Structure 1
Amino acid sequence: MGVGWMWNVIVAGCFVTVTWVSARMCVLGTEPDESFGGKVRFVLPPGDPCSCTELKLGGHNSYAPPRNDKPVYIDNLPMDAEGLRKTQGCPEESTRRESTQMSTSKVETSDLPTTRETLAPVVYTDCQDAFNNRQTTSGVYTIEPYGVEFDAYCDMTTEKGYIVIQKRFDGSVDFNKNWADYQNGFGDLNGESWLGNEKLHQITSQSPKYELLVTLTAFDGSVAQARYSDFSVKSNEDNYEINPSSADTPENTVSAGNGLESKQFSTFDHDHDDGDLNCAELLSGGWWFSHCSDSYTPSNLNGVYSDTPNIAGYLGIYWTPWNGYSDVSLKATEMKIRCLEDC
């Protein structure tokens, strides 16, 4: 909800109310409206739509997530924030609302604040910065961790602000992509996605360091985590080689073990694994491979998604230090990073 304040002054015997409304970027996503027969509609973000000063089109939810308040749906995409406010019956935007007993009274307003300087969208350094600024709702935010703005999904559920870099849970996105796709990122930020190797490099090559948290979910509902307190990705010239520290386990969670090694990234059109075979091509997904078996590569979270846990060897999503076998696929995975100090 937009933050605002009201200033009451008395000028020339008249009572004047001046309202300041701060800028608010409103992201309109789409999702099925179950109360409307499952029709896909635009859904308004939480908060007062009358406070929206910037409008942006977000991603698609395959289902309506649980919310504290009933969502508000619309069928037509407004051209801008003003159009959205009109559809919601909001009063015309004004920085001054005057209530006076004398129609002939005049007020000098040259020294009063205006909203002109606040209409730019809010951009945070990263998700931790957004969380520190009281943005506690998970969702898509505009961040600028290294001088370039881009959208990212911020997970705020752990009382911290994590940038989600990988997420899988239903197989709606094909992860068998080429080098350029993995470099730039792909998918739906509100659903399954890969943030992009170049973004990972730019973010994690800075000081202070970033941590990586990997969350794995099995088909029986069990969950395990692995945390790497020092995580970085090298540049394109180094084929986005990963540099994870040793893994530990967050408190009150099940250990997933260490499933990552310092290896270069591979895709079917850029083979950088240690073996003679093209593991990314054989296993249908880009990853930090060593060889094409769990004896050498203990994980592959970007493999073929399976609707069941039983798969042909290696042709799935696996993390063998936890689930133990390369012929058992995981139901869901998430990888997210967070700055450990003030960034």
Structure 2
Amino acid sequence: MMDALKTLLLLFFLHTATSLPVPEPCEQKVVRLEEELRGLVRVISDQHHYILELHRLHSQQLENIPNSHLGPDNLYKDCSQVFADGNVATGIYVVRPDGSPTALTVYCDMSNGGGWTVFQRRRDGSENFDRAWVEYKQGFGDLYSPDGEFWLGNEPIHHLTSQGNYDLHIDLEDFDGNHRYAEYKNFRVDGEKDQFQLHLGEYSGDAGDALATVGSASRPSGVKFSTFDHMTHDRDKDSDTNCLSHSLSLHRCDSGNLNGHYYNGPYQAMTSDGVVWYTWHGLWYSIKSVVMMVRAAELQHPLVRQLGNEAPGGAVDSRSDQ
């Protein structure tokens, strides 16, 4: 009996000993730790390359900004002056409109006659345009990327358009690749104390005049700017709908609302709150792409100006700077 008990105890201890985890040999542990270390090195290397790529992209953006130092007395006032001075490359420039407390980084479009200061661009809905009053005042988005979406800011737009007589140009594209445009004379945006009120003159183009009553005889005072946190008095009083105007709109605030909600398709909107140009596609179609820009009405192409300053026989007219 005692022998049988001893045998059972021996078998129990042998089973327990064999079921315990075998300590990892030192060589295998070193191999495992070395592999983990190599993995960490790869992660660090990937992060390093990512940082270098960010620096490269940032440097490319900085290259688009003029590298010459411009003091407060010799900055261009807008892209029209940039173009008139012989700069014909579309891209980023630094300007300082009259009355602006600081210089502005702006995107100048030198196509379509040149000299256009772009203040709004929408391509794919990557930027949220449902913003508060202060955001629309100061501006937001990415103007450095050719396809970046942005709003330059109501304050900068006010300073730009208060310098003289400006034209407004609007490029529109639908989801079938069709393009239309609208232009308005005498475009001006008042200052904040006047609720960034919009003024427009004569229309031309092939998109239709969706802003027909803004600044016209039927509404000579134009339309004041509104956001979800800052509804203007005339908007609250006159509108019979609960829609919001994010600039460039009519008495019906959705008829020409180019800052509306972006939909990834023409008829996905359940209400007329999309990127709307009523006279082209109606209230229910949300536009795919919009670019809005301004230019001094008296702008003359630098080549035309140069030829105009040449007297007969090729001599330069001494009155050119008068």
Task: Give yes or no for the alignment of 1:312 onto 2:270.
Answer: yes
For 1:256, which of 187, 199, 207 is the aligned residue? 207
Conservation of the 8 A alpha-carbon contact between 1:318 and 1:326: yes
Q: Please give the alpha-carbon distance, in whole angstroms, between the structure 1 residues aligned to 2:173 and 2:162.
A: 29
SS at match of 2:186: strand
Structure 2: where are the runs of 5+ without partners? 1-49, 215-221, 301-322
Q: 1:206/1:119 Cα in 2 relative to 1: closer, same or farther (>3 Å)?
A: closer
Q: Please give the alpha-carbon distance, in whole angstroms, between the structure 2 residues aligned to 1:266 and 1:201.
A: 15
Conservation of the 8 A alpha-carbon contact between 2:169 and 2:182: yes
Q: 1:314/1:297 Cα in 2 relative to 1: closer, same or farther (>3 Å)?
A: closer
Structure number with higher relative contact order (C-alpha < 8 Å, ≥ 6 residues apart): 2
Q: What's 2:56 paired with?
A: 42
Matches within 5 A, 1:1-343: 42-43=56-57, 56=62, 119-120=69-70, 123-148=75-100, 149-190=103-144, 191-207=148-164, 209-249=165-205, 255-260=206-211, 261=214, 262-272=222-232, 273=235, 274-275=238-239, 277-280=241-244, 286-290=246-250, 297-310=254-267, 311-323=269-281, 325-341=282-298
Conservation of the 8 A alpha-carbon contact between 1:266 and 1:289: no
SS at match of 1:338: strand
Structure 1: where are the runs of 5+ without partners? 1-35, 47-54, 60-80, 82-117, 250-254
Superposed displacement of residue 286, structure 1: 2.1
Deviations 1:145-190 (CA, angstroms, capped at 9, x unpaired): 2153111110012231100011101111100000001111111113
Conservation of the 8 A alpha-carbon contact between 2:243 and 2:254: no
Q: Please give the alpha-carbon distance, in whole angstroms, between the structure 1 residues aligned to 2:208 and 2:111.
A: 23
Conservation of the 8 A alpha-carbon contact between 1:213 and 1:337: yes
Q: TM-score, normalised by structure 2?
A: 0.64
Q: 1:196/1:226 Cα in 2 relative to 1: closer, same or farther (>3 Å)?
A: same
Q: Please give the alpha-carbon distance, in whole angstroms, between the structure 2 residues aligned to 1:289 and 1:330.
A: 15
SS at match of 1:321: helix
- Equivalent AA in structure 2 for residue 127 of structure 1: C
Conservation of the 8 A alpha-carbon contact between 1:264 and 1:289: no
Deviations 1:238-273 (CA, angstroms, capped at 9, x unpaired): 111111113112xxxxx0111222211100011122
- Equivalent AA in structure 2 for residue 143 of structure 1: V
Q: Please give the alpha-carbon distance, in whole angstroms, between the structure 2 residues aligned to 1:211 and 1:330.
A: 22
Q: Please give the alpha-carbon distance, in whole angstroms, between the structure 2 residues aligned to 1:119 and 1:178.
A: 34
Structure with higher helix content = 2
Q: Please give the alpha-carbon distance, in whole angstroms, between the structure 2 residues aligned to 1:153 and 1:299.
A: 23
Structure with higher strand content = 1
Q: Please give the alpha-carbon distance, in whole angstroms, between the structure 2 residues aligned to 1:133 and 1:331.
A: 34
Conservation of the 8 A alpha-carbon contact between 2:254 and 2:272: no
Q: 1:342/1:145 Cα in 2 relative to 1: closer, same or farther (>3 Å)?
A: farther
Conservation of the 8 A alpha-carbon contact between 2:254 and 2:283: no
- Equivalent AA in structure 2 for residue 203 of structure 1: L
Q: Give percent identity, aligned residues only.
A: 34
The count of corresponding residues between Structure 1 and Structure 2 is: 227
Q: Please give the alpha-carbon distance, in whole angstroms, between the structure 1 residues aligned to 2:207 and 2:185.
A: 15
Superposed displacement of residue 342, structure 1: 5.8
Superposed displacement of residue 138, structure 1: 1.1
Deviating runs (4+, > 3 A) in structure 1?
43-46, 55-59, 118-123, 288-291
Superposed displacement of residue 130, structure 1: 1.2
Q: TM-score, normalised by structure 1?
A: 0.60
